[in-house]
Structure 1
């Protein structure tokens, strides 16, 4: 009889732990969380990437981020050299063909990759929005990110960079780029 108590106690602890994990997994999303959605753009010469959305209450305005690698598409020696390259490769044209840079871009580091980031005004059927284009290089490959949102350029940039800095996305980007 004395030997069965430790077994019973261990079973209760195990069931309690499983219940806690289930409660955590089934909990409603926390503030600031991003949700993955289907790739919203038509097929082109590159594989579809991953798309994410954060609501206005969580990100200071609705923000969507689109991330995908373009393997073998970068200058192997200079990487992302200038804003013209960001304009050409960062997929902002997939959000809208009518986009215009708001100012000169900046250097940026994300997930151990370097590149450039630039803000744009885009015209959509529902009105104007802000977009951010990011092109990052790793060897001879690119990771391109386009983001759009209802906030101003600083808000959309901040939300996108915070999201790209998350462990899950950094791990995915590193794996996607390291597969070559």
Structure 2
């Protein structure tokens, strides 16, 4: 069995690339059907930057390359804390709802296939995640990225709101 490092494809720029899904699609025309392919990919640097992309073409390799290029263009910075999230968060897109919770060191990535690929590319080492609603890979990928981008650094939020970090994270006793 291949080790984790061997399974993750790393390109010449040091980005982690993963193919999430390939679908065969058909366009119905007067003379019959024209078949093509749609690919969904994720690209990340393993250190908090991640992007997803979709590509469509008549052949699989071309669709995958288009998706990889789009994923590189769509890369965004995700705020992480020691390989996990700062706090539990929910991401939504369409009928897909993704619940993500931070996990203690050594837990690993406990998530479905689409989410797992995104977490690995982003550099998340420990997380608990669950998909609620549709499991369509495109919607799950978009919901996961939306949830990750929604996470803010609690220290910065506390400074902005004039409160302590414990109050922001709900760890305050509340007897003030």
The TM-score normalised by the length of structure 1 is 0.27
